[in-house]
Amino acid sequence: MNHRQRFAVVIVVFAASFIALAGRLVQLQVIDREVLADLAARQRLHVETLPARPGEIVDRNGRPLAVSVRAQSLFAVPNAIDDVDAFAIRISQAIEIDAAELAADLTRQRRKSFVWLRRRLSEPEEAAIRKLDLPRETWGFREEFLRKYPQGVVAAHVLGLRDIDGVGRGGVEQRYDNVLRGRDGRRVTRRDARGRVIDVRHELTELPDVGRTLVLSIDSVVQLFAEQELDALMARHAPQGACVIVIDVESSDLLAVASRPTFDPNRPAEADADAWMNRAVSAVYEPGSTFKPLVVAWALDASVLKTDEMLDCEHGVYRTGRRVLHDHHGYGELSVTDVLVKSSNIGMAKIGERLGAAELHRCVTAFGFGKPTGTSLPGEESGVVRPLPQWNDYSLGSIPMGHEIAVTPLQLIAAHAALANRGRFVSPRLVIRELDPDQSPGRAVTDRQRGPLQVASRVASPEVARWVIEEPMTEVVRRGTGKAALLREYTVFGKTGTAQKFDAQLNQFVNDRHVVSFVAGAPASQPKILVLVMADEPTGSEQAGGSVAAPTAAAVLRRTLLYLGVPYDVAPATASEADGQRG
Amino acid sequence: MLTRFEAALLIIVHAAIAGTAIEASILDERLALSQQHYRLEAARERVARLRIEAERLGGPALLMSRFEEGRLEARPASTGTSDPAPAGPLLRWRAVRGER
């Protein structure tokens, strides 16, 4: 090989090397550019989620019902721990945790680099962990939000709670989770080979959006009245469950919704299994006699009944088709008022016959039964209203006395609120408005702030509704089954209800188990507040709505009216008489 | 020719410097925004803790028992047939002052 040939070979080798290098360069810089850039970024950059602060829940006066504060959650890095047993013992010295269990847990997950030890530590726990001075690479804190419920058990079922992962469970926490949750942000940091932060990439950082604040229609003070009186009822009669609802008649704002058994949302682990049910919206029962005033109002409005009419109550025994109806006492002719005061089933059956099935079905649906009320609380039931074609010969007699249909307490009070509101049905409201995070909830709640989704319709004329409230329902409390609800300061109207429970095993209604209820409002001349008390299977000798539920309803009603400063409508002399009748 | 080249170079350099300055300014603004956010978040945290503490010290559950035991003064209903106090005493007092 001569000199020229050797030079040519060198040139070719150099050229080939250059072409190979150029090709590799093209591969790295052009073809694999994105993949490699991503890989490099992943090694250098670390994306950290910035959790959004959940919005607050406040009552109608701006009092906090649910507030979030920051808390540290503790995690371990098992693959960096040399002596798992010693680590577990030291951790157990700072927080209440079983050392042996923790050691076993960490050993099982030895290869992992992240294991939660305890979420949302209290401040003393956090300080105790820091004091341990454990090797920095074996553990760490991560900041999370801890939901606090400053009022404790008050309105627990309405609020629900946030679970360990900050997701709303039950109540408005679940229903309005998307509003309260906000939007998480992210922070991008550049780290060195050992994972230490060099700088924060502010140009890539996205700030979190704080959740919106929910203003509820609940009044914490009225809610407290309801809770206290409900506790007293539970202590006196030990029912399986009970609930109290307080509603503002004009706006249909729910001022209080209390249910028993209950739980403390700050300590959900201690709750019994049956404490989660919100009986105000999930309990479905036959309303019994509390349903009767609604049918009377509908019949009067449909002109099939007159206020001054007398109804023959057949001395307590009435055959309708193959069925024989009985009253508790045998009555002859009763006025319409007395049919309700004496709670005559026969009188109501006769009113039902006059209305006919189609009109009765219209009555039931117009008052909002058979469908959710619109509060959209999780677990809300629709009740049971059978379609008209499924009604049978018994229905005309049963439904006017509150049988053959099933309702929730919230449906029932909403229907009665329509009567008290001069015949205008307004769907109950629980959430008044949503606010931006830094907007003050204020104190005044006016009609202009009413939510757009409230349904309003007329179910009875104002005259008929006023008569039913001021005559028969007032007389029920004055001289009927609701005497225990008489108040010195206010003219109370109401209706008791005592329904037998159905035993699925015996396949029949039983005499020794009842659902008792009482719906009451005041002042009768211009109703402001309506209260419903329902107790499921009270124990003891008292098994009637008038003796079990009426005293509780009266206590809640009185305290609420006085708290709201509603003027008295009973003259002092009349008040003394009322005392005498009650005493 | 050289002058044109220098002018072009100068323009490019100035544009680059201006771009860098704008980018730095944007970064400063982002940093300020971030710091503002953290300050706001710290303030929110403090407000939340103070609200919880305020409820602990003066929530309805605590005050109601004191009120009902008579340890707190009750405000009577402003009007009512059995309420002997006349409505709007403050306004009436002002009217009397005005007559003098």
Per the CB < 8 A criterion, the answer to whether A33 and A119 are in contact is: no
From B31, B60, B77, residue closest to A565, measured CB to CB: B77
Q: Is the Cβ pair A154, B60 closer than 8 Å?
A: yes
Token pair in block for residue A43:
């090694």
Query: For residue range A269-323, what is the model confidence (pLDDT) as tens digits?
Result: 898 988 999 999 999 999 999 999 999 999 999 999 999 999 998 888 888 777 8
Helix axes A123-132, A84-94, angle to 10 degrees: 140
Q: How far is CA A5 from CA A1, A2, A8, A11, A12, in A?
A: 6, 5, 5, 10, 10
Mean pLDDT of A217-243: 95
**CA-based nearest residue to A213, from A441, A555, A464:** A441
| In chain A, % of residues over pLDDT 70 | 95
Residues of B in contact with A202 (CB under 8 A): 27, 30-31, 34
Whole-angstrom Cα distance, residue A124 to residue A131? Answer: 11
Confidence of residue B88 (pLDDT cuts 50, 70, 90): very low
d(CA A563, CA A226) in angstroms, rounded, equals 13
Residues of A in contact with B80 (CB under 8 A): 489, 567-568
Counted across chains A and B, CB pairs separated by less than 8 A come out at 79
**Mean pLDDT to the nearest integer, B94-100:** 32
Residue A419 has pLDDT above 60, yes or no: yes
Give A141-193 as a DSSP string.
EEEEEEEE-TTTTTTHHHH-EE-TTS-EESHHHHHTHHHHS-B-EEEEEEE-T
Question: Quick check: A433 pLDDT over 60?
Answer: yes
CB contact under 8 A, A207 and B33: yes
Q: What is the C-alpha to C-alpha distance for residues A460 and A443, in angstroms, rounded to an integer?
A: 33
Interface contact B29, partner A, CB < 8 A: no
Residues in contact with A510: Cβ distance below 8 Å, sequence separation at least 6, in sequence order:
A500, A501, A502, A503
Asked whether the beta carbons of residue A67 and residue B52 sit closer than 8 angstroms, the reply is yes
The string of pLDDT tens digits covering residues A349-367 is 999 999 999 999 999 999 9
* A→B interface, C-beta within 8 Å: 53, 56, 63-64, 67-70, 148, 150-152, 154, 200, 202-203, 205, 207, 210, 220-221, 224, 228, 437, 489, 562, 565-572, 575
Most confident of A414-418, A438-442, B83-87: A414-418
User: Is the pLDDT confidence value at A506 over 60?
Assistant: yes
Residue-level pLDDT at A572: 62
User: Percent of chain A at pLDDT above 90?
Assistant: 70
Q: CA–CA distance from A224 to each of A220, A231, A255, A283 (Å)?
A: 6, 10, 10, 21
Q: How much is the pLDDT for B82?
A: 42
3-state secondary structure of A397: helix
A325 vs A107: which has the higher pLDDT: A107
Residues 6+ apart with CB under 8 A from A366: A298, A425, A457, A459
The pTM for the full model equals: 0.83
Query: Which two three-digit tokens encode residue A514?
Result: 């009842």
Confidence check: pLDDT of A573 > 50: yes
Predicted ipTM of the assembly: 0.79
- Give the tens place of pLDDT for each residue, B1-49: 788 989 999 999 999 999 999 989 988 888 888 889 889 999 999 999 9
